Amino acid sequence: MSYVPARVVSNESVYGSYYVLVARALRKLRRIPLPPQFSMVWVPGVDLLPLSYARYEDGLATFFYKVVGEGTKSLSLKRPGDFIAMSEPVGKGFLEVKSPVFLAGGTGIAPVLHYSMYLEEFSGMWGVKRGELAEALIERFPELKRLAVASEDCTFGLCGRLTDHLDKLSLERDAIVLVSGPAEMIKRVCGWLKSCGRGPGFVIAEAMVKCGLGACGSCVVGGLLLCRDGPVVGCEAFG
Ligand SMILES: Cc1cc2nc3c(=O)[nH]c(=O)nc-3n(C[C@H](O)[C@H](O)[C@H](O)COP(=O)(O)OP(=O)(O)OC[C@H]3O[C@@H](n4cnc5c(N)ncnc54)[C@H](O)[C@@H]3O)c2cc1C
Ligand code: FES
């Protein structure tokens, strides 16, 4: 896999351990990243992290990430002017969607941000633990206003988990639903779609990505290699 060096332009906490990083590619990527492709972001001397592109425009890449371990902690310490590297986009773009309904949990909103650059119409819901996260990210990316928000601390939008409010969605029978976020949420949403005969449901999946080349087999989801055939897989992959 080839990598392009990039210089950090900004890297700020939007709320607590949630960060938005913008980096300028110092060479042109051979392929423009399409939603919901991801990058293997290299944090020099630390690790390679799979992160969804939240934006890519004129050589500027944006990522929205949560600090969960050593790799993301080291990434959060990068300052403007520091170097990282990003891989050519991994996985396949999935743009054969018209007016999709996004159901995203937590950092699962990152690929939705990228989609918002390409879609005239979309709707859906974003589930967060803390309403302040939604408030801060919407202020930075006002296009997210098109989504309803459900906050578990009941401080923003609907009160409770996204999965508590699925019945409030007005879904056309043939609406294309794209689900992203924690595995438990994905299973529940896919189960709900199946039980009410709605869909088709697709998942922007995550898995353990190591080589990113379709060679090591660590990223299997529902019999597909996420890095080669994904990251979009059918809801069936989640039972
Ligand atoms: C295709 C893809 C796209 C992703 N996009 C984003 C994104 O846009 N924003 C974002 O915040 N995160 C995203 N992730 C998850 C992100 O890659 C991991 O959180 C990160 O690699 C953790 O590295 P770490 O060294 O900080 O933590 P580690 O020390 O490696 O792990 C800390 C904790 O996070 C869990 N974890 C590690 N890797 C993953 C993973 N791949 N999926 C779920 N849990 C994991 C571990 O089980 C552990 O509990 C994506 C993952 C994939 C596969
Ligand atoms: S990460 Fe190695 S096959 Fe996908």
Render each residue's pLDDT in the chain as its tens digit; 239 residues: 799 999 999 999 999 999 999 999 999 999 999 999 999 999 999 989 999 999 999 999 999 999 999 999 999 999 999 999 999 999 999 998 888 999 999 999 999 999 999 998 999 999 999 999 999 999 999 999 999 999 999 999 999 999 999 988 888 877 899 999 999 999 999 999 988 877 679 999 998 888 888 889 999 998 899 999 989 999 988 86
Q: Where in the chain is the domain with CATH 3.40.50.80?
A: 101-204
Residue with CA at minimum distance from ligand 2 atom 3:
214
Q: Is the CB of 131 under 6 A from ligand 1?
A: no
Q: Is the CB of 215 under 6 A from ligand 2?
A: yes
Residue with CA at minimum distance from ligand 1 atom 9:
65
The whole-angstrom separation of Cα 162 and Cα 104 is 8
Q: In terms of residues, how long is the chain? A: 239
Residues 24 and 7: beta-carbon distance below 8 Å: yes
Residue with CA at minimum distance from ligand 1 atom 6:
51
- Strands (DSSP E) found in 67-174: 83-87, 101-105, 123-128, 148-151, 158-159
**What fold is seen in the domain 101-204?**
Rossmann fold (3.40.50)
Q: Is the CB of 40 under 6 A from ligand 2?
A: no
Which of 123, 46, 115 is closest to 77 using CA atoms?
Answer: 46
Q: Which ligand is nearest to the CA of 183?
A: 1
Residue with CA at minimum distance from ligand 1 atom 4:
51
Which of 189, 155, 185 is closest to 169 using CA atoms?
Answer: 189
State the closest ligand 1 atom to the C-alpha of 208, by its place in the atom list counted from 1.
Answer: 41
Backbone angles phi, psi at 213, to 5 degrees: -120, 0
Q: What's the CATH architecture for 3-87?
A: Beta Barrel (2.40)
Q: Is the CB of 214 under 6 A from ligand 2?
A: yes
Q: Where does the chain have alpha helices with state H?
A: 70-76, 110-116, 131-140, 183-195, 226-229
Question: What six digits make up the tokens of 54?
Answer: 């939240």
Q: Where in the chain is the domain with CATH 2.40.30.10?
A: 3-87
